Amino acid sequence: MATSIQTPKATCRTGIAGVLTLLLLTSVLANFAFFSADSSTFSFDSEDSPVISDDSSSITTLESSSFTAARSGARAIAGWSDIGASSSPAVGSAVAVESVSGDIYSGGIFSGSSSMSLGPNAVSSTTYIQPWFGKSDSSGNWQWAETGVLSGTNSESTLSGIAVSANGDLYVTGMFYGTIDFGSHSLTSTGYYDTYTAKANSAGQWQWASALQGNGDYDGTTVTTLDAVWPTAIAASNSGVMISGLFIGNTDVGTAVDSGGTSGDDAEIFVAKYTSSGSLQWTAEARGPAFQETQAMYMESNGDTWISSTFDGNMNFGSHSVSGTPGVSTPVLAQIDSTGAWKSAMSISGADSFIYGIDEFSNGDLFLGGTFTSSITFGSTTLNSPGGDTSGWVAKLSTPNTWSWSALVGGSTYDRVTDVAVDPISDNGVLSISSASSITLGSDTISSQGANDSALAIISNSGSWVSAFGANSSADNNAADIAVDNGGNISIVGTFSSSIDFSSTNSGSQNALASINPYIWSSSGLLAADADGDGIPDDIDNCPNDANPLQEDLDQDLDGDACDYDDDNDTILDNSGDDCPQGEIGWISDSDPLDKNTSTDWDLDGCRDLNEDLDDDNDNIEDTSDSCPKSNWDHAVLQRPVWVSEPSSDIDGDGCRDADEDSDDDGDGVNDSSDACSDEAGNSSLGASLGCPDDDGDGWANITDDCPDVFGTSNNGTLDGCLDGDGDGWADSEDALPLDSTQWIDSDGDGFGDNQDGIRPDDCPNDAGSSIDDRWGCPDMDSDGYSDPDSLWLVEDGADAIANDSTQWSDFDEDGYGDNFGNESWQVSRNENWPGEYLFLANMQDACPLESGSSWKDEFYGCRDTDGDGYADVLDAFPNDVDDYRDIDGDGIGDSKDACPNQSGTSSEDREGCVDTDGDGYSDPDGLTWFTTNGADAFRTDATQWADADADGFGDNSTGLDADVCPENYGTSTAIEWLGCPPEMIIEVKDNNGGGGNGTSSGGLFGDSDGVAGMSTTTLAIIGVVLVIIAVVLIMLFTIMRRGDDDDSWEEEMYAEQMGGGYDAQAQPAYAQPVQPAQQVDAYGRPVAQTAHAVMMPTTSAQAIAPTTPTANMTGEVRSDGNEWMEYPAGSGMWYARDQTTFQWIRRI
């Protein structure tokens, strides 16, 4: 028997006060009862929750209802009832009995500022709700009454449970706030709610009281957690008491602090044990992620204790854990030993279900009871709520964790098992019920008119309902707790309103003095003498000495089947050959050897042939499978037929004797005369061995099947009955092409079959190959799908024109370069009618696929290359010159000869291809590496002069402009007849000529005397050196002045070109824009070459336009590959990369 209160799991807690206040309310209300100091009125709903009425003048109740219990037979049933007499609301919530004496201890709570009488004994309360306790003997004589006296501001207290040890000591536990006194033992709370545990002796004298407390009283400032310890169940023994409940916050039993202490959603379970003298021995805890509390406890004789709870998602009991569905409340049953160590934990599959009662049968099996909604499962049995509302249940758990049976307690609305106990005499289970339904338990029906009412029921150890009794009432009432003593007396404590009738157990009736009052309902004789222990009292038991719990009597002869020798009265005794002892009634067993059809029981086995006997001739072959359902037997010699079908006498087991009945002994459908294996059933149908075993079922007998364990259809080649995946008759193991039904031989093993009429026939059956495009299965060196040419299959026939390149196979112009192309941009510019196709990364793509060519440089393959230098004519600026192919600056001089390959020029005398401003064939000096001393034009803008040997600014060409009269002597004379002559030479000449002209003397222009004008040779030399220096200085000054006159200096221009375009380029002379060579066409005028780069060629036009290819001084973008790239012209899709050696742009895409 378990003593507990039921506190429905709080799911609507908002705020700190609401959290534990709701716990207080549900605990105070315990089982449908609630009241407070202001004497509010109350009612109950069908969900186990109180309803507080705002109308103080009346009590709100459900519809009035009454229970009736119909019982057959007579027995000595007696009982009594009483109430806690109070004019103020009071509740009865707990009961316990002293097993030997039968003394009854009860308890509950009563209103503040009121009194309550238990017989001659009265208790009074202070301002607040207080617990009450009382003791009566088994006959209802009250011995004493006690209370826990509260004091302090806003004090509160509840009773969570009572327990009695075998020696009669009373233990009580509950919640309190404030100060509570148990006689001289005073406790004061420190937490938000604290736990009291107290002990009184059998005379009602308090022995001790102890508290489990929270660390502080929540105020939201100094204490920010809900520190509460709340007990919900209790169990006791002679050695002490154990309590269990929940805790929140920082407490004596552990810490369970949730989010800021404002929600209270995280409550954990605690268990505490006190010695009989009040010393706290230990505490233990169990944790889960949501709100847990204990519903019931039961202590075994060795001190091990069972505890029930619920959990959400998962819960840990020491090292034992249970898991379920998050958000679903699931019941759990756990065991803890006397030292506080968790021993086990198991869950029950049932959402929103509870275990409210635990007790133990005599063999140690557990008797459990509680409630569920919707459904609950015990092993392989699932109970479903009839109305989809709350229903009750009881079950027997055989350890370890095996469900023996379970039973439903419920009707169409609200029903609840509030507690269970076990009668030590009959070993039957008893249970207290609160119900608003009409329910049937065994042969008893309890009818309801709609209100909550109390009931008790008895169920046998084997799970059969024995009896049920209801307490009729015109208003709501509730049975809270139940206990049974060693004499079989049943006591129930509960709460009622208005009036209640216990006459179903001859226990009288009671009227309430207040809106609600506690009741005590005691019954004896319900658990009467039962010699066979079947739950049926001997005085009405149809088999008093043989267990017959359901009182079955098949033939209605008043002898129960358990003790009737012929249950069905067919003349075949139950234990003497009747194979259907509880079969059809109203017939006699008969067997006529002369007329099988009129016989009622051919084999005399006690089973009626017509509708009961499944094997009329008792040959162990059921009639539905028996080809000879009534085999003959010798009635004169035998009492029953003795022949049974066995492999030795009935090979095929068809119920016909092989010796005289069966023409197909092995039953394989092949007559014995044609059956190659007549004594062994078989299904072979192919080949010469019919009717023999064919294990794989392919029609071939095992003895001829080459693959007897594998179903197969092969019948060609050397193997029969083997796997033939493609169905060509050849076994897969022999079939070279097992997935092709048209091929089976592959001589060269290349995957192409030899059958020329099949799919993909091998064109080279004796030469392995992988070709698939021009012909099947021939050698394909480069694996491009086209076969290599041979003497019988040429390129003209479709063979691979380029057999060693997997990216090429067609060569229309037969120049050795394939027609496929890998340049993606060609897909736009390439003639779509040309042979070949785009193939990523195609090798050596023929840019001129219609015309044979040998070009191969710059990745421009297969085009005409007249001079054989490797460059296609369309790219070769000098298609007829093997030594040159490129003219970067477009000046008509090949880069190999062009001294200035990056700058267009027409010079040809001193060096080729450099800038020649005046067009006289001599290049302009660049001021860096090429000077007049190297042969550069000393007169850049004078086409008639280019040399100036004496560097006096007058050209050496005597036929040109301003020709130097003295080309070998530096001079500054500007006189026409003396241009470029030194003054002293003019004077000398004039002196020699008599003062005029440039005549000569016998010594020549300068003469060959030792002096001039009377000066010595030394003097003249010194004068000459000075004059040369002066001339050089003048020339340099003259040059600097010329540079600053009209445009930038040519030295700066040349330096800019060399340094990458830092200065503007010098204006181009009269040379052409880039000229594209004429498009190459074939004899029909069709283009035969892919568009090539433009080529710079000289022309007579002086107009300069943008080049068609990028020039060296253009700048691109360096990509991740490290190369400089340029799309030119922009948006054209033609991409160029700069050559790292020549710095020229080379088209790559």
C-beta separation of 848 from 1090 below 8 A: yes
pLDDT in the model for residue 1026: 65
Same domain, 1051 and 1120: no
Q: What is the C-alpha to C-alpha distance for residues 593 and 339, in angstroms, rounded to an integer?
A: 76
Q: Residue 660 falls within a domain, yes or no?
A: no
96-109: average pLDDT: 96
Same domain, 436 and 337: yes
Same domain, 340 and 257: yes
Q: Residue 449 falls within a domain, yes or no?
A: yes
Domain boundary residue, one of 1058, 1082, 1098: 1058
pLDDT at 354 over 90: yes
Same domain, 1130 and 1048: no
Q: Tell me the two tokens of residue 490.
A: 């049943």
pLDDT in the model for residue 825: 87
pLDDT at 492 over 80: yes
pLDDT digit string, tens, across residues 1014-1038: 444 445 556 666 676 776 667 666 5
Q: What is the C-alpha to C-alpha distance for residues 548 and 562, in angstroms, rounded to an integer?
A: 6
Q: Residue 136 falls within a domain, yes or no?
A: yes
Q: In the structure, what pLDDT confidence band is assigned to residue 1091 with cuts at 50, 70 and 90?
A: low
* SS3 assignment, position 435: strand
Same domain, 124 and 247: yes
572-595: average pLDDT: 88
pLDDT in the model for residue 182: 98
pLDDT at 381 over 80: yes
Q: What is the C-alpha to C-alpha distance for residues 1002 and 221, in angstroms, rounded to an integer?
A: 136
Question: Which phi and psi (to 5°) does residue 1059 adopt?
Answer: -95, 15
* SS3 assignment, position 946: coil
Percentage of the chain exceeding pLDDT 70:
82
Same domain, 1009 and 1139: no
pLDDT digit string, tens, across residues 667-722: 888 998 888 998 898 999 998 899 999 999 999 999 999 999 999 999 999 999 99
Q: In the structure, what pLDDT confidence band is assigned to residue 390 with cuts at 50, 70 and 90?
A: very high
- DSSP output for 385-405: -TTSSEEEEEEEEETTTEEEE
Same domain, 1002 and 1137: no
pLDDT at 53 over 50: no
Q: In the structure, what pLDDT confidence band is assigned to residue 209 with cuts at 50, 70 and 90?
A: very high
- DSSP output for 993-1041: TTSSTT--BTTBSS-SSS-BTTB-HHHHHHHHHHHHHHHHHHHHHHHHH
pLDDT in the model for residue 1025: 63
Q: In the structure, what pLDDT confidence band is assigned to residue 1098 with cuts at 50, 70 and 90?
A: very low
Q: Residue 44 falls within a domain, yes or no?
A: no
Domain boundary residue, one of 502, 524, 546: 524
Count of alpha carbons within 13 Å of 760, Cβ hemisphere only?
20
Same domain, 285 and 428: yes
Average pLDDT of the residues of the chain: 83
Q: What is the C-alpha to C-alpha distance for residues 808 and 796, in angstroms, rounded to an integer?
A: 15
Provide the whole-model pTM. 0.49
Same domain, 359 and 422: yes
C-beta separation of 948 from 973 below 8 A: no
pLDDT digit string, tens, across residues 513-534: 999 999 999 998 787 666 777 7
Same domain, 402 and 276: yes
What is the extent of the structural domain holding 184? 78-524
**Cis, peptide link before residue 789, omega less than 30° from 0:** no
Q: Residue 282 falls within a domain, yes or no?
A: yes
Across 647-656, 896-905, 1003-1012, least confident range: 1003-1012
Position with higher pLDDT, 1015 vs 899: 899
Q: Residue 463 falls within a domain, yes or no?
A: yes
Detail the DSSP E strand segments found in 29-141: 41-44, 50-53, 78-83, 90-97, 104-110, 115-118, 121-124, 130-136
Residue with tokens 């392995």: 768
Q: What is the C-alpha to C-alpha distance for residues 865 and 870, in angstroms, rounded to an integer?
A: 7
pLDDT digit string, tens, across residues 737-760: 999 999 999 999 999 999 999 999
Position with higher pLDDT, 892 vs 1140: 892
Radius of gyration of the chain (CA): 61
Domain boundary residue, one of 1058, 1083, 1098: 1058
User: How many folded domains does the chain comprise?
Assistant: 3
Angle (nearest 5°) at CA 84 between 81 and 89: 130
Q: Residue 575 falls within a domain, yes or no?
A: no
pLDDT in the model for residue 528: 67
Same domain, 280 and 425: yes
What CATH number is associated with residue 219? 2.120.10.30
Residue 778, sorted as left (phi over 0), alpha (psi -120 to 50) or beta, turns out to be: beta
pLDDT in the model for residue 1087: 53
Q: Residue 245 falls within a domain, yes or no?
A: yes
pLDDT in the model for residue 261: 39
pLDDT in the model for residue 1145: 87
Secondary element (H or E) of residue 989: helix 983-992
Same domain, 186 and 92: yes
